[in-house]
């Protein structure tokens, strides 16, 4: 005699039924993440917005980075400051500083702009913007399709470089090592020998 499983588990209640985890119907019967497009967002007690615990009231400096066009009709007043809703954000420090992050990671996780932190590439933090002299030694052919505009100044990515004084000197090292002051290893060795 086989064990019959319920068709819907008790923890998979929708937001309209008074709480629980938000689910969206699928063809294979699997639960869809609440962050999936079109999925309903569950509002637990900690996520219900009120005047005293809304994002706009509790964290106004973060609410200023709310991206109105990409968040649609939703505003910082609609969400609690501990909400797990993944919103769109816009940093004033760069024209392309736009990203998606959970509200709780911004208010409790201290997650700021990933572009300002150097975790994502931007026109404001790419190698030519911050270190144009080093970007001129970028080896375009050996790094193809990557360009100096595709890496941040603090990147650990290994890239090819070409010496400005002696173009036949080519070497591979991390971008952050170049920023730290390492130059052409061949020119350095010949200077040490003298």
Model pLDDT for residues 15-48, shown as the tens digit of each residue: 444 444 444 444 455 554 545 444 444 455 556 7
pLDDT of residue 39: 43
Angle at alpha carbon of residue 128, lines to 184 and 66, rounded to 5°? 140
In this predicted model, which residue has the larger pLDDT, 16 or 149? 149
In this predicted model, which residue has the larger pLDDT, 81 or 121? 121
Q: Is the pTM of this model over 0.75?
A: no
Cα gap 66→56, rounded to integer Å: 10
Domain locations in the chain as residue ranges: 42-125, 131-193
Q: Are 161 and 180 in contact (CB under 8 A)?
A: no
Q: Are 114 and 96 in contact (CB under 8 A)?
A: no
Using the structure block, give the residue that is written with the tokens 């990409």: 70
Total H helices, total E strands in the chain? 8, 4
Cα gap 77→52, rounded to integer Å: 10
* pLDDT tens digits, 88-128: 999 999 899 999 999 888 888 778 899 998 899 999 999 99
Residue 86 CB neighbour total at 10 angstroms: 15
């Amino acid at each position: 005699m086989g064990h019959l499983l319920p068709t819907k588990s008790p923890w998979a209640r929708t937001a309209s039924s008074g709480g629980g985890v938000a689910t969206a119907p699928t063809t294979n019967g699997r639960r869809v993440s609440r962050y999936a497009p079109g999925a309903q967002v569950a509002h637990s007690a900690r996520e219900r917005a009120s005047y005293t615990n809304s994002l706009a009231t509790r964290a106004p400096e973060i609410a200023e980075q709310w991206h109105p066009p990409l968040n649609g009709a939703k505003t910082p007043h609609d969400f609690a400051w501990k909400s797990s809703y993944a919103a769109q954000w816009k940093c004033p420090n760069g024209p392309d500083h736009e990203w998606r992050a959970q509200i709780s990671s911004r208010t409790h996780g201290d997650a700021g702009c990933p572009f300002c932190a150097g975790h994502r590439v931007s026109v404001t933090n790419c190698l030519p913007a911050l270190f144009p002299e080093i970007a001129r030694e970028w080896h375009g052919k050996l790094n193809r399709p990557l360009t100096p505009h595709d890496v941040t100044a603090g990147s650990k990515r290994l890239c090819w470089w070409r010496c400005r004084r002696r173009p036949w000197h080519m070497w591979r090292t991390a971008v952050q090592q170049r920023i730290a002051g390492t130059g052409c290893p061949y020119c350095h060795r010949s200077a040490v020998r003298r």
